[in-house]
A = this chain, B = another copy of it.
Amino acid sequence: MSDMRTHELVLQWIEKQLSDGDLTLGGRLPGERAMAEQLQVSRTSVREAVRILEAMGVVRAGVGSGKDAGTVVIAEPGSALGSTLRLHVATRHLPVADIVETRVLLESWAAERAQVGVPALEAAAALLDQMDEAPDIDTFLALDARFHVALAQAAGNSVVSAMMASLRGAIENYASTLTENLPDWNATSTRLRAEHRAILNAVNNNDGGKAAQLVAAHIQGFYAEAGVGAGVPRI
């Protein structure tokens, strides 16, 4: 064990606190100085461990005092996985086409198993109404992202939801950049909104197979129109 780097010891200690239930969601870690003294390491090493946990979406660090202060245990695997995937896309190790393909896989699966009546599905419906009123592209895309996440959540598998959200986040820059090059945004927007309605209707009619099929076509169609997915432009 002594061949382990110091910050890894701290990580191990914190993970044990989590596993043992001594540290739960919403709970606060001891202050950095306190942890350093307790574990007999420098504050620097404690901070390196906290940085890693923050990058993993396990904690959130806040200065000052009060509710937002201190290092708090959170649960945001989606954004963390997204950052990791985005970096690996940057290294050219993960092709954008594979990301899109995986997203189709996960979202089709989720659409097929989405349960009617769950809160997430009602939220998805509300988001569609908001998208009809979206004043600009960025607002539309933000609502679109939330719609897809809500749809995935309706399937009730938190791992699939998190991964699906991360995949979208990993290539968000690609998508939002390429929308600017679309020939006719109004036409695309109208089509996308109609497809969303069709997907939601299929789910509400308990036609999971059709919902899955529509979702796959919806995602592949969007990236194909934007020029991503098959050819892999890669800037």
Interface residues of A (CB under 8 A from B): 7, 15, 18-19, 24-25, 44, 47-48, 51-53, 55-58, 73, 75, 77, 80-81, 83-88, 90-95, 98-99, 101-102, 105-106, 109, 157-160, 162-163, 167, 235
Query: Taking the nearest CB of chain B, how far is it from the CB of A52, in angstroms?
Result: 4
Query: Nearest 7 pairs between A and B by C-beta?
Result: A75-B93, A18-B90, A98-B159, A52-B55, A102-B159, A56-B84, A19-B90
Are A159 and B94 neighbours in the complex by a CB distance under 8 Å? yes
Residue pair A93, B47 in contact (C-beta under 8 Å): no
Q: How far is the CB of A212 from chain B (nearest CB, A)?
A: 12
- Counting every copy of the chain, the complex holds 2
Find out whether the CB atom of B44 lies under 8 angstroms from the CB atom of A57: no
Determine the chain B residues whose CB is within 8 A of the CB of A25 once the complex forms: 91-93
Majority secondary structure of chain A interface residues (helix, strand, loop or mixed)? helix
Cα A73 to Cα B88 with chains together (Å)? 10
Q: In the assembled complex, which residues on chain B have CB atoms less than 8 Å from the CB atom of A99?
A: 159
CB nearest neighbor in B for A27: B91
Task: Please state if A55 and B58 are interface contacts (CB–CB under 8 Å).
Answer: no
Whether the Cβ atoms of B98 and A160 lie closer than 8 Å is yes
Contact of A84 among B44, B84, B90 (CB under 8 A): B84
**CA A75 – CA B87 in complex, angstroms?**
10
- Nearest to A235 among chain B residues (CB) is B19
Chain B neighbourhood of A52, CB < 8 A: 51-52, 55
Give me 14 other A-B pairs in contact (C-beta within 8 A), A52-B55, A77-B94, A102-B157 excluded.
A19-B235, A24-B91, A25-B91, A48-B48, A56-B84, A56-B87, A56-B88, A75-B91, A77-B84, A94-B162, A98-B159, A99-B159, A102-B160, A105-B106
Q: A220 to chain B: closest CB distance in Å? A: 15
A-B contact pairs, 6 of them (CB 8 A): A24-B92, A51-B52, A77-B88, A98-B160, A102-B157, A105-B109
